[in-house]
Amino acid sequence: MQRVVLHLDMNSYFASVEQQANPFLRGKPVAVLATMTSQGCTLASSKEAKAFGVKTGVRAEEARRLCPSIRFVEVDPPKYRSTTKRIFSILTQYSESIEPYSIDEAFLDLTGLAPSLEAGAQLGYEIKQRIKDEVGEWLTCSMGVASTRWLAKFGGDTTSKGGLVILHRGNLTAYLKGRDLQEAWGIAGATAAHLNKLGIRTLDELQVTSPVNLMASLGIRGYELWANVNAVELGGLAQPRQPKSIGHSHVLRVRNRDPRFHKALLMRLCERAGRRLRDLGLEAQGVYAHVSLEPGGGLGLPAMPRGKAWQAGGSKKVYHPIHTTRQLFKQVWAMLGDGLHRGTPTFYALGMFRLRPVSGQLSLLEKRKPAALARAIDRINNRYGEETIVEGELMRLDGSFAPDRIGFRKTTGVDVAPEAEAF
Amino acid sequence: MLVFHEQPRDKVRVFVDFNGPKVTPKAFEWAGKRYDIHSVNLVYQHRHGKGYDWYFAVSDLANTYVLSYSPETLEWVLEEVQGQ
């Protein structure tokens, strides 16, 4: 049976969703910013903005310099998640074998439904049209159709915006010819440099290199590279699995040396991470916390002369598993507390690792009450909204600090709405 | 050029078209004035506690608006107005 994998990649996704929501932004350069400040980072730019060189990661002031007429929009994660859900719900009507790869990318295994790659492409065109009809006419996507997951994504990544490409053994060599190694998914600077040393500079050269020679130099990774460009399937679509770590980070947009503010902020980040941990029914046996500090006086201290910025924090394993927000906060505060007095915090990152399902193991030293309290608080917040009940440190912290943010990878599963097609 | 962006968050009266399971806002009254909706551009959800509020990004010929509807309270709120 012909294996058919389709890869879908939404074009300029966040910016396109904003243009879909506001038709007066269509056809104009638009940048979606993480924060509406001059230092705000561009998370996505429309194709019109890209023509001016405004790419992901460019700061707002630089974007304005590149394109004076650019329009800025602040990121709105629930809008994108909800739109993604509607798009993915269309995909699930074609196959139950779907791998959401990121908020704007997915793989779909059409084997059995489509007897050939061409038939798979026809379904791809149908899906494109349904996205336009049922979600929004301004939303376009690129697609790759191939017999392997890697080739489907490679096709989707390299075809024109809004295009669809079919890759099969017959056209593969011609498609790879002359393409730089780093155009391929999974080949970055170090691997490309290694391959260059072997005299391999393009993907078609990689395709005809002996896998034995590649393995002699790169080990199993060498075989994977060869297999990818020779249409050999290695793994298929990835199945949902338990995360290896759960964490949150935040760049502070204000410089503040009030210890109460920072305790509250860390508590909010801990609550976010703790909620996700408990939602997944997990506990953690490892914790990490980092803070970037700007010279100029620590928390509660007068301003100091400026000097070199530095970082504090670390990671450690814990004997008693972490399950509640309070347990996480206690560990994080212990790890960062001293460092916070040596500078002004500008960035926090915290999280947990060594995750495992809640064991229910009773502890001789720890009381059971905190876990029951955490569950009760979660139930209330589930019912009435986030932060209806908060830990004391979090009281009166404005909601604009450490707001909801969105990542580019593997964010599906967060804040997924229940099935509801009423509107 | 963006002229204004307001977040009034005012409760409004909305006229909707019920077509099978679909509900499409057609017009709304805000501050005593009726605004006819030219197009519904995007429909999305925001989580609110256990439930989800529905958001409608709509526009007339001059401005764009975001209307929210809470299935729990049955209230419509004008969340945003953007003038061009």
| Amino acid identity at A18 | E
Stretch A155-174: mean pLDDT:
94
Measured between CA atoms, the residue of chain B closest to residue A388 is B49
Measured between CA atoms, the residue of chain A closest to residue B55 is A79
pTM comes to 0.82
**Any idea where the domains of chain A sit in the sequence?**
5-10+80-229, 13-76, 245-394
Q: For residue A45, is pLDDT > 90? A: yes
Which contacts qualify for A59-68: CB closer than 8 Å, 24 or more apart? A60/A31, A60/A33, A60/A36, A63/A31, A67/A29
Measured between CA atoms, the residue of chain B closest to residue A22 is B64
Q: For residue B19, is pLDDT > 80? A: yes
The alpha-carbon gap from B41 to the nearest alpha carbon of chain A, in Å, equals 5
pLDDT tens column, A120-146: 999 999 999 999 999 999 999 999 999
Report the residue of B9, B42, B58 to disrupt the A interface, i.e. the one with the largest count of A CBs within 10 Å.
B42
Asked if B84 reaches chain A (Cβ–Cβ under 8 Å), the answer is: yes
Contact B2 A71 (CB under 8 A): yes
Q: For residue A99, is pLDDT > 90? A: yes
Active site residue A137: no
Stretch A158-187: mean pLDDT:
94
Size of interface A-B (CB pairs under 8 A): 67
Measured between CA atoms, the residue of chain A closest to residue B19 is A423
Q: For residue A418, is pLDDT > 50? A: no
Contact B45 A388 (CB under 8 A): no
**Any idea where the domains of chain B sit in the sequence?**
4-83
Higher pLDDT, B12 or A310: B12
Residues of A in contact with B84 (CB under 8 A): 24
Architecture of the domain spanning A5-10+80-229: 2-Layer Sandwich (3.30)
Q: For residue A295, is pLDDT > 80? A: no
Catalytic residue among A18, A48, A99, A105: A105
Identify the band that residue A366 occupies on the pLDDT scale cut at 50, 70 and 90: low
Contact A21 B46 (CB under 8 A): no
Distance CA B32, CA B82 (A): 19
Fold of A245-394: Dna Ligase; domain 1 (3.30.1490)
Q: For residue A243, is pLDDT > 90? A: no
Report the residue of B47, B56, B59, B80 to disrupt the A interface, i.e. the one with the largest count of A CBs within 10 Å.
B47
Q: For residue A94, is pLDDT > 50? A: yes
pLDDT of residue A409: 46
Residues of A in contact with B59 (CB under 8 A): 22-24
Alpha helices for A280-423 (secondary structure H): 325-336, 369-384
Considering only CB atoms, B42 lies closest to which of A20, A415, A421, namely A20
Given a contact cutoff of 8 angstroms between Cβ atoms, the answer to whether A234 and A241 are in contact is no
Q: Domain A13-76 classified CATH 3.40.50.970?
A: no
Q: What is the DSSP letter of A393?
A: G
pLDDT of residue A417: 35
Contact A385 B42 (CB under 8 A): no
Residues of A in contact with B16 (CB under 8 A): none
Q: Which residue has the tokens 């947009």?
A: A253
Q: For residue A421, is pLDDT > 60? A: no
pLDDT tens column, A57-68: 999 999 999 999
- HEC profile for A235-303? CCCCCCCCCCEEEEEEECCCCCCCHHHHHHHHHHHHHHHHHHHHHCCEEEEEEEEEEEEECCCCCCCCC
Residue percentage of chain B with pLDDT more than 70: 96
